[in-house]
């Protein structure tokens, strides 16, 4: 088998330009899932993936849902464990467009002073570049050995950035087809640019939209100002009271069920290199904004948060308009940790909001995505094989990390099918995912493909 791996790795190196060309083709499809205007592009992205996998000999198909379609693919039945690789082909919106140095859907390479090369474009990292590392690893095995090293299925969705509304029902309907020994995911970060990581815990998500209505129309502030309730004042008061002065979330019951980190994790996080000051300085900040007394890593990975994602009301154009807005709205989301019940958090939030709305105003609350938080067991065979394989590629022991983001489907897989997940990603902290000028490092892409080759070979032992 050793000969095989080297030949496969050599193939990966030799074919990097062709792999990159496929990534560029994929990025050029503007598959923004949250904006209905891009629905056709989402379907095109699904078809592109299905066609790529079909070319590799997978039994691949695009499956309709009530939202954007799924892609399901099955490789030939071979010996060894059966893995299900999960990824998402949809991307975040691109606004504010003016801040992009290059057009978001025209990918390009940008050589950097440190010798790294950036792959620029929306989705270059999240998740198109990352998911392709796995597919390109499969391609290399097929090209060199004529077959896949183990039994591999894949599932790609197009609504991850929109809260995955179709995944639950789809999973319910295809549970038998998709059941495998473990799930593999490539949507996470390295610990740092030299240290690979397997992510073992992730936060959950609850999204809510609030719309406050005060008067039945916008009013002149001279004529009505003081006597007429101002919808933005009501909403500002709600938003302003979401956090206490010590950085904690002020909603009653919010921390119910939240436990302290296991000592083993705390100890590993303290050993691993992490510079909290630099982490904040890199984004132009210097003061951790979460609960005082908690480290930055704890705040972002192991403590729940409440974030105002967007807010609008009244006159926001050029100049000034002395209007009392009748309506104001905000998008608010919570990142949860293991132990918190998303449904109860939503309920507590709604009660909190309602208690602050004056009797002659109304509030409309709209639920957006929900995902539970999870923490994976740390003693599995596949987990340890993957750690060793990563160590060989990167010459560093892989870290067991957390992530502050949510990967909604994985909790569903665990609950519905009893499957755990291995989250192995090659992104870096500074990839600007969800922001203008998203990038993926060429090293991430190249060594990411090589890492999967080693991991799949290890699983085949």
Query: What residues between 141 and 170 interact with a second copy by CB under 8 A?
Result: 161-163
Considering only 30, 290, 425, 448, the residue that binds a second copy (CB under 8 A) is 290
**Region 348-367 residues binding a second copy, contact defined as CB under 8 A:** 358-361
Instruction: Determine which residue in the list 7, 15, 16, 34 makes contact with a second copy, applying CB under 8 A.
Output: 34
The answer to whether the beta carbons of residues 251 and 348 sit under 8 Å apart is yes
Q: Which is nearer to a second copy, 166 or 230 (CB)?
A: 230
Q: Is residue 41 close enough to count as binding a second copy by CB under 8 A?
A: no
Q: Tell me the two tokens of residue 271.
A: 């050993």
Instruction: Choose between 109 and 285: whose C-beta lies nearer to a second copy.
Output: 285
Least Å from the CB of residue 232 to a second copy: 4
Residue 253 falls in which region: left (phi positive, over 0), alpha (psi -120 to 50) or beta: left
Find the binding residues for a second copy in span 81-140 (CB under 8 A).
Answer: 92-93, 95-96, 99
Beta carbon of residue 53, minimum distance to a second copy (angstroms, whole number): 28
Which of the residues 390 through 409 are near a second copy (CB under 8 A)? 403-406
Interface pick for a second copy out of 273, 319, 377, 418 (rule CB under 8 A): 319
Q: Is 223 in the site for a second copy (CB under 8 A)?
A: yes
| Exposure b/e, 426-446, CB count within 10 A at least 16 = b | bbbeebbbeebbbbbbbebbb
Do the bridges between strand 197-202 and strand 399-403 make them parallel or antiparallel, or are there none, so unpaired?
parallel
Q: Report residue 335: phi and psi, to 5°.
A: -105, 125
Give residue for tokens 């999967």. 452
Under the criterion CB under 8 A, does residue 283 sit at the interface with a second copy?
Answer: yes
Task: Kindly identify the residues of this chain, within the stretch 412-431, that bind a second copy according to CB under 8 A.
Answer: 429
Which of residues 335 and 447 has its CB atom nearest to a second copy in the complex? 335
Six-digit token string for 110: 């940008």
Q: Which residues, 6 or more positions from 103, have their beta carbon under 8 angstroms from its beta carbon?
A: none
Q: How far is the CB of 373 from a second copy (least distance, A)?
A: 11
Residue 94 Cβ, how far from a second copy at the closest point, in Å?
10
Spatial separation of the C-alpha atoms in residues 326 and 312, rounded to whole Å: 12
Residue 50, phi then psi, degrees to nearest 5:
-60, -40
Judged by beta carbon, residue 267 or residue 285, the one nearer a second copy is 285
Q: Which two tokens stand for residue 184?
A: 């593999």
Cis before 96? omega within 30: yes
Angle, helices 16-27/442-459, rounded to nearest 10 degrees:
110
Among 225, 252, 262, 293, binds a second copy (CB under 8 A): 225
Q: Judged by CB under 8 A, which of 16, 296, 365, 375 binds a second copy?
A: 296
Asked if 65 interacts with a second copy (CB under 8 A), we say no
Minimum Å distance from CB 246 to a second copy?
13
Residue 383 and residue 235: Cα distance in Å, rounded?
46
Work out whether 68 is an interface residue with a second copy (CB under 8 A).
no
Give me the half-sphere count of Cα atoms (radius 13 Å) on the Cβ side of residue 223: 5
Q: Among 228, 250, 375, 417, indicate the residue that binds a second copy (CB under 8 A).
A: 228
List alpha helices for 320-396, DSSP H: 342-355, 381-394
Is 333 a residue that touches a second copy (CB under 8 A)?
A: yes
Stretch near a second copy under the rule CB under 8 A, chosen from 4-12, 176-184, 281-289, 440-448: 281-289
Token pair 């059966």: residue: 82
- The piece of 75-83, 136-144, 225-233, 441-449 that touches a second copy (CB under 8 A) is 225-233
Give the binding-site size for a second copy (rule: CB under 8 A). 105
Strands (E), 187-286: 197-202, 204-213, 219-220
């Amino acid at each position: 088998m050793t000969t095989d791996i080297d030949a496969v790795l050599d193939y990966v190196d030799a074919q990097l330009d062709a792999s990159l060309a496929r990534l560029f083709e994929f990025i050029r499809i503007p598959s923004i899932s949250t904006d209905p205007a891009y629905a056709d592009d989402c379907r095109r992205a699904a078809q592109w993936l299905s066609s790529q996998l079909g070319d590799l000999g997978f039994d691949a198909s695009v499956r309709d849902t009530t939202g954007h379609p799924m892609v399901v693919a099955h490789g030939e039945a071979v010996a060894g464990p059966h893995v299900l690789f999960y990824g998402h082909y949809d991307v975040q919106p691109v606004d504010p467009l003016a801040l992009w140095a290059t057009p978001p859907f025209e990918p390009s390479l940008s050589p950097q002073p440190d010798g790294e090369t950036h792959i620029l474009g929306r989705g270059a990292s999240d998740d198109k570049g990352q998911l392709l590392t796995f597919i390109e690893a499969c391609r290399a095995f097929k090209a060199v050995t004529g077959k896949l090293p183990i039994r591999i299925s894949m599932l790609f969705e197009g609504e991850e950035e929109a809260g995955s509304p179709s995944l639950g029902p789809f999973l319910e309907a295809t549970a038998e087809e998709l059941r495998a020994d473990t799930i593999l995911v490539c949507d996470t970060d390295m610990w740092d640019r030299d240290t690979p990581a397997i992510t073992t815990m992730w936060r959950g998500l609850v999204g809510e939209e609030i719309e406050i209505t005060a008067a039945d129309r916008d009013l002149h502030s001279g004529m009505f100002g003081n006597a007429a309730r101002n919808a933005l004042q009501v909403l500002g008061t709600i938003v302003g009271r979401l956090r206490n002065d010590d950085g904690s979330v002020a909603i009653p019951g919010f921390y119910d069920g939240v436990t302290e980190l296991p000592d083993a994790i705390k100890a590993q996080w303290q050993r691993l290199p992490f510079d909290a000051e630099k982490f904040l300085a890199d984004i132009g900040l210097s003061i951790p904004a979460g609960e005082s007394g908690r480290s930055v890593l704890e705040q972002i990975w192991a403590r729940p948060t409440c974030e105002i994602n967007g807010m609008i009301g009244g006159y926001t154009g050029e100049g000034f308009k002395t209007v009392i807005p009748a309506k104001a709205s905000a998008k608010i989301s919570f990142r949860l940790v293991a132990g918190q019940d998303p449904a109860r958090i939503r309920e507590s939030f709604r009660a909190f909001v309602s208690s602050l709305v004056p009797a002659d105003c109304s509030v409309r609350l709209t639920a957006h995505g929900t995902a539970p938080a999870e923490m994976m067991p740390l003693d599995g065979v596949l987990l340890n094989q993957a750690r060793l394989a990563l160590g060989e590629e990167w010459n560093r022991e892989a870290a067991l990390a957390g992530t502050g983001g949510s990967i909604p489907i994985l909790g569903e897989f665990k609950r519905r099918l009893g499957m755990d997940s291995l989250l192995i990603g090659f992104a870096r902290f500074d990839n600007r995912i969800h922001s203008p000028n998203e990038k993926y490092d060429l090293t991430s892409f190249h060594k990411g493909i090589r890492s999967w080759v080693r991991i799949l070979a290890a699983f085949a032992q």
